[in-house]
Amino acid sequence: MKKFINSIDDLVLDSAAGLVMAHEDLLRLHEEPLFIHRRVPKKDRVAVLSGGGSGHEPLHSGYVGFGMLDAACPGLVFTAPTPDQIVAAAQRVDAGRGVVLIVKNYAGDCASFQTAGDMLDMEHLTVLVNDDVAVENSTHTTGRRGVAGTVIVEKMVGAAAEAAADLYECKAVGDHVNANTASMGLAFSSCIVPDTGTPTFEIGPTEMEVGVGIHGEPGRYRRSVMQADDIVALLLEPVLKDLQFPASRQVLLHVNGFGGTPLIELHLLNKLATQRLQAEGFKVVRWLVGNHTTSLEMAGASLTLTALDDELLSLWDAPVTTPSMRW
Amino acid sequence: MKKFINSIDDLVLDSAAGLVMAHEDLLRLHEEPLFIHRRVPKKDRVAVLSGGGSGHEPLHSGYVGFGMLDAACPGLVFTAPTPDQIVAAAQRVDAGRGVVLIVKNYAGDCASFQTAGDMLDMEHLTVLVNDDVAVENSTHTTGRRGVAGTVIVEKMVGAAAEAAADLYECKAVGDHVNANTASMGLAFSSCIVPDTGTPTFEIGPTEMEVGVGIHGEPGRYRRSVMQADDIVALLLEPVLKDLQFPASRQVLLHVNGFGGTPLIELHLLNKLATQRLQAEGFKVVRWLVGNHTTSLEMAGASLTLTALDDELLSLWDAPVTTPSMRW
């Protein structure tokens, strides 16, 4: 296994420490139990907390900061955080207005956040993200998986909280974004989870896994590699079918890389997807292109659309200052 | 070859178009000849221009914007831009105060910028970047190669130009940064150049190429994979030997991924490198961690140090708004 790693036991903590060192103006590390939180706590605002397995960086810890998350709880690689991490983080960031928990729909994450929720002594509500249209149930999930749309939910809920929305309004924003967001991805290669040291799945030299999950779990089917134009059509079709919004609606397009695909290819996908959407009459008005919700070094990408209204557009445009998203 | 690609002929232009679409608030595309430039031109300031082979994204086009580059000229993958690109871009961005050309030290880039320089009818000066301490000469270079330190040169020269430094002062800043910057990297895997469709070099399942270049060109030697702590020591030793600054000096640490290495590993490297430097008495005061100067999807990373003084620190901290660097 060729990775920059000292010991599997220390990887998640040491990596979190390295992130916080690089952004000491924004972030603080809480080691035991592990979470990353804002250096300057919010006052009199709803706190926004997320977490999940490590290996998807920058999700979630790279989005802690002004206008997005107050804290992120990283689990072991592809493993949910423990309830005590979530409880300790919620206690740290609660400013008396309650806490929104943003949870990707995986069985492990749901169980940990549910258990933590039962232990929390402040008001809290959960936003469940399940934007992946690839499969209805999967290896790790009952119902649809939460994937790259999570970043969009976190951005918009974070902006609402910063603008003094109350707990129920923040929850409503999150549910509204999730309902208007759909994603579909594919992979050219598997990642290698450090714990196992071997590829999660085998894939032939000319195959791609369509509908792959962000842990390398199976999608819809395998097929031969296609050219990028055809891939874009293949990914957009189920996303548009799921959202079923009128072509007059403004949309945010998120081209997400899974970690091992370089920017030159992601920008190409963005050009092709934008042009295809425009040709069908959609108004693409905002873009996010890059490796945001990754699967370690997996090669592949997903396309996510969010149907915007005036509220969501203004939440997207609101200022944000985090390690991996700032404007 | 598994890549998101339509045709090799269109890749560079289409990818540049995709970048500009995603950042239409900041960037404009000039198609023929190809360059990317700032949407809002500078007035009465020195213009800063760079360029080089594609495949190193976000370098250079991702750094066009306020406080950094005025234009970037992407060549074909791992191929220098042509002189006509550079001339057209310089003419577009010159605001009457001259143009600084930031050039990575490769034979092809030097030749193209030299030819372009001979054709330019405005004042211009060149900053040559050669921060790579791995090898004195290489496959593509006479003298040391320009690698990840280029981003630091571009940031600081861009800040100086924005602050109304004249052409000679901008050139002096660039030379000063370059003289105080050193880098060393290694690779676990090769990238695949789309044109050839095969790995640039073969490497065994437990080998790493120490001192690798950003086109996958050979470095100093091969050896067996080591744990991250030992890799950090191996990379920092020649960097510190080259810079030979006193331990009391403040330093910027740049952990750069080559494209195929995930953030979880880069942050781990950052933690280990920072702690090692601190243990030797160095004051690490600024950090840049991420995939900035890449080699397509190559797995690997480099460590770069810049010895700071008050001027360089304030140039680093100056506001910047580009696709891939903003604060």
Contact B150, B293 (CB under 8 A): yes
Tens-digit pLDDT profile for residues B213-246: 999 888 899 999 999 999 999 999 999 999 998 8
- The domain spanning residue A123 has which CATH number? 3.40.50.10440
- What is the pLDDT, as a whole number, of residue A27? 98
Give yes or no: residues A209 and A151 share one domain: no
Give yes or no: residues B25 and B165 share one domain: yes
Give yes or no: residues B175 and B157 share one domain: yes
Give yes or no: residues A127 and A224 share one domain: no
Residue identified by tokens 């592949």 is: A300
- Alpha-carbon gap, residue B116 to B102, rounded angstroms: 13
Report yes or no on A326 lying in a domain. Answer: no
Task: Please confirm, yes or no, whether A215 is among the known catalytic residues.
Answer: yes
Give yes or no: residues B17 and B144 share one domain: yes
| 3-class DSSP state of A121 | coil
Q: Is the pTM of this model over 0.80?
A: yes
Nearest to B227 among A6, A23, A294 (CB): A6
The values of phi and psi at residue B284, to 5°, are -80, 115
Are A264 and B55 in contact (CB < 8 Å)? yes
Which residues of chain B lie closer than 8 angstroms to A291, CB-CB?
A: 263, 291
**If you ran DSSP here, which 8-state letter would residue A143 be given?**
S
CB burial of residue A96 (10 Å; 0-12, 13-18, 19+): exposed
Which residues of chain A lie closer than 8 angstroms to B205, CB-CB?
A: 2
Give yes or no: residues A86 and A215 share one domain: no
Taking only residues 190 to 219 of chain B, the set having a beta carbon closer than 8 angstroms to any beta carbon of chain A reads 205-206, 208
Query: Band of the pLDDT at A121, cuts 50, 70, 90?
Result: very high
Report yes or no on A320 lying in a domain. Answer: no
Which residues of chain A lie closer than 8 angstroms to B296, CB-CB?
A: 262, 264
CB burial of residue A121 (10 Å; 0-12, 13-18, 19+): exposed
Are B262 and A55 in contact (CB < 8 Å)? yes
- Structural domains in chain A (count): 2
Give me A222's structure tokens: 């395998």
Are A265 and B188 in contact (CB < 8 Å)? no
Are A291 and B291 in contact (CB < 8 Å)? yes
- The domain spanning residue B197 has which CATH number? 3.30.1180.20
Q: What is the mean pLDDT of residues A85-113?
A: 98
Give yes or no: residues B66 and B85 share one domain: yes
Comparing alpha-carbon positions, the chain B residue that sits nearest to A13 is: B268
The last residue of one of the domains, among A158, A179, A200, is: A179
Q: What is the mean pLDDT of residues A114-121?
A: 97
Give yes or no: residues A159 and A192 share one domain: no
Report yes or no on A324 lying in a domain. Answer: no
Which residues of chain A lie closer than 8 angstroms to B256, CB-CB?
A: none
- Alpha-carbon gap, residue A69 to A161, rounded angstroms: 10
Are B264 and A229 in contact (CB < 8 Å)? no
Nearest to B229 among A6, A267, A296 (CB): A6
- What is the pLDDT, as a whole number, of residue A241? 95
- What is the pLDDT, as a whole number, of residue A190? 93
Any chain A CB within 8 A of the CB of B302? Answer: no
- What is the pLDDT, as a whole number, of residue A136? 84
- Alpha-carbon gap, residue A77 to A58, rounded angstroms: 13
Query: Band of the pLDDT at A137, cuts 50, 70, 90?
Result: confident
- Containing structural domain, residue A174: 8-179
CB burial of residue B42 (10 Å; 0-12, 13-18, 19+): middle
**If you ran DSSP here, which 8-state letter would residue A321 be given?**
B
- Alpha-carbon gap, residue B293 to B54, rounded angstroms: 11
Residue identified by tokens 């900053």 is: B127
Query: Band of the pLDDT at B161, cuts 50, 70, 90?
Result: very high
The last residue of one of the domains, among A145, A179, A213, is: A179
Are A268 and B227 in contact (CB < 8 Å)? no
- What is the pLDDT, as a whole number, of residue A97? 98
Closest approach of A98 to chain B, Cα-based (Å): 30
Sequence-separated (6 or more) residues with CB below 8 Å from residue A246: none
Task: Please confirm, yes or no, whether A124 is among the known catalytic residues.
Answer: no
The values of phi and psi at residue A28, to 5°, are -130, 150
Any chain A CB within 8 A of the CB of B244? Answer: no
Closest approach of A288 to chain B, Cα-based (Å): 7
Tens-digit pLDDT profile for residues B21-80: 999 999 999 999 999 999 999 999 999 999 999 999 999 999 999 999 999 999 999 999
Report yes or no on A325 lying in a domain. Answer: no
Query: Band of the pLDDT at B1, cuts 50, 70, 90?
Result: confident
Report yes or no on B191 lying in a domain. Answer: yes
Determine which one of A56, A124, A140, A176 is catalytic: A56
Which residues of chain B lie closer than 8 angstroms to A206, CB-CB?
A: 2
Among left, alpha and beta (phi > 0; psi -120 to 50; other), residue B296 is left
Are B18 and A289 in contact (CB < 8 Å)? yes
Give yes or no: residues B16 and B143 share one domain: yes
Report yes or no on B224 lying in a domain. Answer: yes
CB atoms within 10 A of CB A280: 10
Q: Nearest 10 degrees: CA dihedral of B289, B152, B162, B82?
A: -110
Tens-digit pLDDT profile for residues A270-279: 999 999 999 9
Are A21 and B274 in contact (CB < 8 Å)? yes
Contact B66, B91 (CB under 8 A): no
Give yes or no: residues A112 and A175 share one domain: yes
Give yes or no: residues A101 and A132 share one domain: yes
Report yes or no on A271 lying in a domain. Answer: yes
The last residue of one of the domains, among A124, A147, A179, is: A179
Any chain A CB within 8 A of the CB of B166? Answer: no
- What is the pLDDT, as a whole number, of residue A40? 94
Report yes or no on A94 lying in a domain. Answer: yes
Any chain B CB within 8 A of the CB of A67? Answer: no
- Alpha-carbon gap, residue A19 to A184, rounded angstroms: 29
Give yes or no: residues B167 and B41 share one domain: yes
Which residues of chain B lie closer than 8 angstroms to A229, CB-CB?
A: 6
Are A260 and B265 in contact (CB < 8 Å)? no
Taking alpha carbons only, the member of B14, B268, B41, B313 closest to residue A74 is B268
Q: Nearest 10 degrees: CA dihedral of B188, B194, B196, B198?
A: 30
- Alpha-carbon gap, residue B21 to B26, rounded angstroms: 10
Which residues of chain A lie closer than 8 angstroms to B21, CB-CB?
A: 270-271, 274, 287
Are B6 and A268 in contact (CB < 8 Å)? yes
